[in-house]
Structure 1
Amino acid sequence: MENGEAHGFYDGEFEPEDLKVFWEALGLLREHFYGELPPEEEITYAAIRGVLQTTGDQFTTFVNPEHAKMLEEDIQGEFEGIGATVRMNADNLLEIVAPIPNSPAEAAGLRPGDVVLAVDGQSIRGLTLMEAVALIRGPRGSSVTLTIQRDGGEPFDVTIVRDRIEIPTVEARLIESETHPPVGYVKLNEFNAKATDQLRAAIQDLRDQGAQGFIFDLRNNPGGLLSQAIRVSSQFLPEDSLVLIERGKFGEEEHRAVAGGIWVEGPLVVLVNNGSASASEIVAGALQDHQRAPLVGETTFGKGSVQAPYTLSDGSSLRVTIARWFTPNGRAIHGEGITPDIFVERTPEDESNQRDPQLDRALEELYHQLEQ
């Protein structure tokens, strides 16, 4: 499910009488509190967030209209900010997954694994992911100062001038060698609305240039639309191949590859790391289970739950976990991740020195396939 709208939804299980104590407490607060109460809207939003916290699920969330608009910008692939993929880490701190290429964040020297402690001097500890992102984003040309902690060291400040960020959904190039046939390198940065079309175009262009095999890079790809995960998987799998199993409150659903894949049989290697999450793990798991391509790199993030976004009447959004994802062989993704066939680490030192041992190993594997 990609999206939905709430139109006075009511299932009969919750009677108004069940909320009697809540309204009683709120009435007493309004009558007796010495001070200024927040606006009614903020009280309503706080109450919703409080209910969601009782679920214990960090992915079932409420976002206000402003933040809901930001999420829609992400799906469309454009926004104004510093240009970095972020997530909440295991310590519930905002962590840089990776700067977007050619972005202000990259120019400022932000690195994967950097932890953001404060924005313009304001601590962001305890904020939700979207609340923290809202502080970092802003109009093109304005500046923001981030307090960064790197590798557990002393915090330091980085001031970054925001810009209009157009997420490069796909990066591609031909890799030529004197001793091996030319191969294509294609990196997918996120599963937004443009993902499959741009991926197909990149692969076709590289095939026209003579590429005889492909490295498909899903590193630091945080995921995105489920529909795009199915369509992307379909580019490499035969029609009707099982891509994933979705198990939810109302049963089980299978998602299968559609016809028309652009590289269904040729040599293929997939790159993954700890920043590969959600839709990336769906694709990686499907290609691995079908023995379509070996995975090279590090174990993926392990985000295998499905959130249905419901647009509420004031433009805010409720994102509800409705199911869990499993690979075609029934392996759980959530909390487990996908283990690569060939484990190769890329250290911060490698990145600083522009070394990529994961890509090097993937090339070795791809050339081996071409020789067979």
Structure 2
Amino acid sequence: MPLREGDIITEIDLQPFEERDTLLLRLRGRIDQEVIITFDRPGDNGYTEYRTMLAPIGMSDLARLKYDHFREETRRRVEALSDGRIGYLHIQAMNQTSLEGFQGDLYAAATDKDGLIIDVRNNGGGHTTDRILTSIMAGEHAYTLPVGADPEATGHYPQDRLDAPRYTLPINMLANEKSYSNAEILAHAFSTLDRGNLVGQQTYGGVISTNSHTLIDGATVRRPFRGWFLPDGTDMEHNGAMPDILVEQTPEDEVAGRDRQLERAVEDLLTQLDAKQ
């Protein structure tokens, strides 16, 4: 029987909790090992005791599951807010793994949609801005028609001719104060190139390139070797990307499970789409 919210854990491996025990202490070193969980579940006639077998997971697995849940729940929220008209993609980091995920998910997220929300909130940075821009900045210079195809069926282009998946429909981008480094470069580029509206909070303002050096005692230090600047000369360091639409996400919103930034990004993109009709 799975645990659920409201259950009270009373024993681990049939041993009751001592005064100073915590769940973390009792499960330490037990990752992927089955343990017996005794718990009380409230009901109409008081509490009923149950036992179940569980295998604890580590913090990295927990973080991955929480991220997957966030991404899927946000996608569903965008689907509901837009009545199915807008797709959603979150980029977790500016690294090769996230880039491959972005490229693999781009068509799936955008299929049969009129627009797309790209989310770089809580993204710690990396190095892949230009490869993402390759997908979202390429315009349509031609389309192809297979022999015998409907001449009205425009918009097809052979995918084997592209270096990266291409998306040309309207986009809004989400960023916040926890968007760092290369994620900020992407947010700046999105605004500079006028690809759509940037929504959320100003990004952190920590944009430099660094090298890592190992010291004689095995410690490492990182040393800046390159600055990043906007075309008008503005230093991106200490000058985070400023959204076109500022939306504060408050602790009260977090507790209530409300995402005002997402809601505003969807609302604005729908307005853009309606204006094009």
Q: In the TM superposition, what is the alpha-carbon distance from 1:311 to its structure 2 partner?
A: 5.4
Amino acid at match of 1:219: R
Q: Secondary structure at the match of 2:173?
A: strand
Residues of 2 paired with 1:171 and 1:178: CA distance? Answer: 15
Give yes or no for the alignment of 1:238 onto 2:148. Answer: no
Give yes or no for the alignment of 1:164 onto 2:64. Answer: no
1:295 to 192, 198, 201: 198
Correspondence for 2:11 = none
1:323 to 207, 226, 231: 226
Residues of 2 paired with 1:214 and 1:163: CA distance? Answer: 32
2:116 to 193, 214, 226: 214
Residues of 2 paired with 1:199 and 1:350: CA distance? Answer: 28
Contact 1:180 1:367 in 2 (8 A): no
Q: In the TM superposition, what is the alpha-carbon distance from 1:181 to its structure 2 partner?
A: 4.9
Cα separation, partners in 2 of 1:178 and 1:354, compared to 1, 3 Å: closer
Deviates more, 1:344-353 or 1:301-310: 301-310
Q: In the TM superposition, what is the alpha-carbon distance from 1:231 to its structure 2 partner?
A: 1.4
Q: Secondary structure at the match of 2:228?
A: strand
1:223 to 125, 129, 151: 125
Correspondence for 1:147 = none
Correspondence for 1:130 = none
Q: In the TM superposition, what is the alpha-carbon distance from 1:304 to its structure 2 partner?
A: 1.1
Identity %: 31
Contact 2:173 2:199 in 1 (8 A): yes
1:251-296: per-residue Cα shift (whole Å, max 9, x none)? xxxxxxxx74534421100111111110110000001001002111
Where do residues 169-180 of structure 1 align in structure 2 (5 Å cutoff)? 171=71, 173=75, 175-177=78-80, 180=83
CA RMSD of aligned residues (A): 3.1
Cα separation, partners in 2 of 1:340 and 1:231, compared to 1, 3 Å: same
Contact 2:134 2:166 in 1 (8 A): no
Q: TM-score, normalised by structure 1?
A: 0.47
Residues of 2 paired with 1:234 and 1:321: CA distance? Answer: 27
- Write 1 or 2 for the structure with the bigger share of strand: 1
Cα separation, partners in 2 of 1:162 and 1:140, compared to 1, 3 Å: farther
Amino acid at match of 1:223: G
Contact 2:82 2:270 in 1 (8 A): no
Q: In the TM superposition, what is the alpha-carbon distance from 1:307 to its structure 2 partner?
A: 0.6
- Bigger Cα Rg: 2
Q: In the TM superposition, what is the alpha-carbon distance from 1:176 to its structure 2 partner?
A: 3.1
Amino acid at match of 2:130: I
Residues of 1 paired with 2:234 and 2:263: CA distance? Answer: 28
Give yes or no for the alignment of 1:336 onto 2:239. Answer: yes
Give yes or no for the alignment of 1:346 onto 2:246. Answer: no
Cα separation, partners in 2 of 1:176 and 1:197, compared to 1, 3 Å: same
Residues of 1 paired with 2:217 and 2:137: CA distance? Answer: 42
Higher RCO, 1 vs 2 (CA within 8 Å, ≥6 residues apart)? 1
Residues of 2 paired with 1:178 and 1:305: CA distance? Answer: 37
Give yes or no for the alignment of 1:194 onto 2:97. Answer: yes
How many residues matched? Answer: 196
Residues of 2 paired with 1:261 and 1:300: CA distance? Answer: 27
Q: TM-score, normalised by structure 2?
A: 0.62
Contact 1:304 1:324 in 2 (8 A): yes
Contact 1:219 1:276 in 2 (8 A): yes
Q: In the TM superposition, what is the alpha-carbon distance from 1:369 to its structure 2 partner?
A: 2.0
Cα separation, partners in 2 of 1:344 and 1:329, compared to 1, 3 Å: same
Contact 2:171 2:196 in 1 (8 A): yes
Cα separation, partners in 2 of 1:307 and 1:178, compared to 1, 3 Å: closer
Cα separation, partners in 2 of 1:293 and 1:328, compared to 1, 3 Å: farther
